[in-house]
Copies of this chain bind each other. A is one copy, B any other.
Amino acid sequence: MTSTKKTFENLPDEKRERVLAEATQEFAEHGYHQASINRIVDRLGIAKGSLFKYFGNKQGLFEYLFGHAVAQFKKPLKVIRDANSDTDFFERMEMSLLAGVDFITAHPLVYRIYLKMLFQENFPLRDKFLSEIRQASAKYLRQLVNEAMKSGQIRADIDLEMAIFHLNSVMDHFLQACAVPSLDGGTGLFDADRKTIENKAHALTDFLRHGLGTIS
């Protein structure tokens, strides 16, 4: 009774990583349904049967692969959240933006998969993964905003939920503009170098500070 993934995890590191890399590439390019197991094994040069031994089926492969990516995504959030809480809230927002940029720069393919998943309702495990990600993001933002309100860095008359909704919107769009050519809407974020992106992130944070902050 060899449980599905056991065989895969016993593989030599190098092979294991090649398999995941190739599969991630395929899902990033084609989404779930258009991704082709045939193409994956052809490029890998391994037998089709092997992949099915490792992961049971297409969905098993995707779940393994994307689950790992989500786990990796959550780590940096925690770091910033746990940083000294009297750091300036808007600086932390800026750090968050850049942490997001770092993630999608390091894992552009994973981010592409995530974006496809957003509105592709029949992506398998979509609900599970999306709610996991959103929960992490919301929990993170809520804590930040909370602390900032307590320490008087955000105007008291601001509605908490609205602020979170707002920040979420802005962060999402910022990252999408960095990653998807047709979505940067003239902001010039796509394909920009790190320095340019840092400047934009700073400008955006400043803008938020004016809108939400207590400084006049």
Contacts and interface: CB of A to CB of B under 8 A. Distances in A.
A contacts with B: majority SS: helix
Interface string A12-39: 0000000000000000011101100010
Interface in A83-118: 112, 115-116, 118
B122 A119 contact: no
A79 B102 CA distance: 42
A48 B2 contact: yes
Contact of A210 (B34, B121, B130, B158): B158
A80 interface: no
B115 A119 contact: yes
A71 interface: no
Interface stretch (A62-70, A162-170, A190-198): A162-170
A77 interface: no
Copies in the complex: 4
A203 B159 contact: yes
A212 B44 CA distance: 53
Nearest to A211: B211
Contacts of A210: 155, 157-158, 211
Contacts of A134: 182-183, 185
22 contacts: A2-B48, A31-B33, A112-B119, A116-B119, A116-B120, A118-B118, A118-B119, A120-B120, A126-B182, A127-B182, A134-B182, A134-B183, A138-B186, A158-B207, A159-B203, A159-B207, A163-B207, A165-B173, A165-B185, A166-B170, A173-B173, A210-B211
Interface of A: 1-3, 29-31, 33-34, 38, 41-42, 45, 48, 112, 115-116, 118-122, 126-127, 130-131, 134, 138, 155, 157-159, 161-163, 165-166, 168-170, 172-174, 177, 180, 182-183, 185-187, 203-204, 207, 210-212
